[in-house]
Amino acid sequence: MNKVLKYIWRFLIFAILTVISQIGGIVYLIGIVVSKKIRYKMYGKSILIFSSLYLLITFLIVPLIAPLFGRQKIDTNSHLKPAGYITVLLNRNYVTGETNKFLREISNRLMCDKSEVQIRYLDACFPFIKGFPLLPHLSHNDGCKIDFSLVYEDESGKIVNKGKSLSGYGIFEEAGEDEFDQCKDCMEKGYSQYDYPKYLTLGSINPDLRFSEKGTKELIEAILNHEKLRKLFIEPHLKRRLNLTDKRIRFHGCGAVRHDDHIHVQIN
């Protein structure tokens, strides 16, 4: 019975690590084999071996293999950075070469304009296998989709390139009293999952920051100026608040989750 429970436990760990990072489950199995080969006894040996293998494979091996699957690690620069290192650590920072070029050109435009706004990206896609789901997202599976953080400012109105949650998700810019509340409307229609990102913050930070209408609009307009953009999702009340009229800015539907904590961009 204990042996059966051990294998069930290992399967659960394998499944969870695979779902959140794609490669974590495989690395976990390799770690079990390596741990058995190393007979030296020490506290936390298995965890140390797994962590070492995971970091080695994530940062040295995966970037070399991903191009064989049509994916590239996102190139960063002074105006294009991950919103948090969780995205990088979990291999959620891979896109197609075309998407990488798209991101590079948008960030270069902001750089040339000497903008204070940085593109702070959240989840993109995994490095391997087209169609492999990047949960909890519904469509981040082809290397052509990526999420951006909203832009925030401090109490003086200065743009601050920081977020309000550790994950970058789940802290919402709610609809005002005079704005249509799409979230409330979807929830009343029975789409209870619509505000589930509130459970994915991993912790709130920088409580004094406030939503920057100027900075977020500047970011979105830079994205809209690129001919490769196909769709951009934000919550309808933010679209109206920022006075955005481009037809590529769309409502994602009640079957998805709310987009007043991030911007979803796709080129295909």
List pLDDT tens digits, range 236-247: 999 999 999 999
16 sits in which H/E element: helix 2-21
> What confidence tens digit (pLDDT) does each residue in 174-224 have?
999 999 999 999 999 999 999 999 999 999 999 999 999 999 999 999 999
**DSSP, residue by residue, 104-168:** HHHHHHHHHTT-S--EEE---B-SS-TT---TT-SS--SS-EEEEEPPEE-TTS-EE---SBSSS
Res. 28: pLDDT tops 90: yes
The per-residue pLDDT for range 57-110, each reduced to its tens digit, is 999 999 999 999 999 999 999 999 999 999 999 999 999 999 999 999 999 999
What region does 165 belong to: left with phi over 0, alpha with psi -120 to 50, or beta?
Answer: beta
Average pLDDT, the chain: 94
List the domain range (segments joined by +) for residue 6: 2-67
140 shares a domain with 60: no
Q: Which residue has the higher pLDDT, 248 or 39?
A: 248
Q: Is residue 1 scored above 70 in pLDDT?
A: no
Q: Of the candidates 43, 67, 91, which is a domain's last residue?
A: 67
Q: What is the CATH number of the domain that holds 169?
A: 3.30.1380
Residues 81 and 209 in one domain: yes
Which tokens go with 20? 């959140």
Strands 231-233 and 249-250: parallel
pTM here is 0.92
Q: What does the pLDDT average to over 140-154?
A: 96
Radius of gyration of the chain (CA): 20
Instruction: Identify whether residues 59 and 101 lie together within a single domain.
Output: no
Residues 11 and 110 in one domain: no
Residues 60 and 83 in one domain: no
Cα first-last separation, the chain: 50
Q: Do 165 and 121 fall within a single domain?
A: yes
Q: How far apart are CA 89 and CA 127, in angstroms?
A: 12
Residue that terminates a domain, selected from 16, 49, 67: 67
Question: Does the CA dihedral 97-247-249-245 come out positive or negative?
Answer: positive
Same domain, 78 and 41: no
The strand pairing partners of 77, in sequence order, are 80
pLDDT category at 4 given cuts 50, 70, 90 is: confident
CB neighbour list of residue 112: distance below 8 Å, 6 or more residues apart:
none
* 22 and 145 housed in the same domain: no
Residue 61 and residue 135 in one domain? no
Please check whether residues 56 and 129 belong to one and the same domain. no
The identity of residue 153, as a single letter, is E
Q: What is the pLDDT of residue 56?
A: 97
* Domain shared by 45 and 84, yes or no: no
Same-domain pairing of 242 and 256: yes
Residue finishing a domain among 51, 67, 83: 67
Region 224-237: mean pLDDT is 95
Name residue 233's beta-bridge partners.
250, 264
Question: How far does Cα 7 stand from its chain's mean position?
Answer: 32
Name the residue type at position 46. Answer: S
190: region left, alpha or beta (phi > 0 left; psi from -120 to 50 alpha): left
Number of domains the chain is built from: 2
Residue with tokens 């699957």: 69
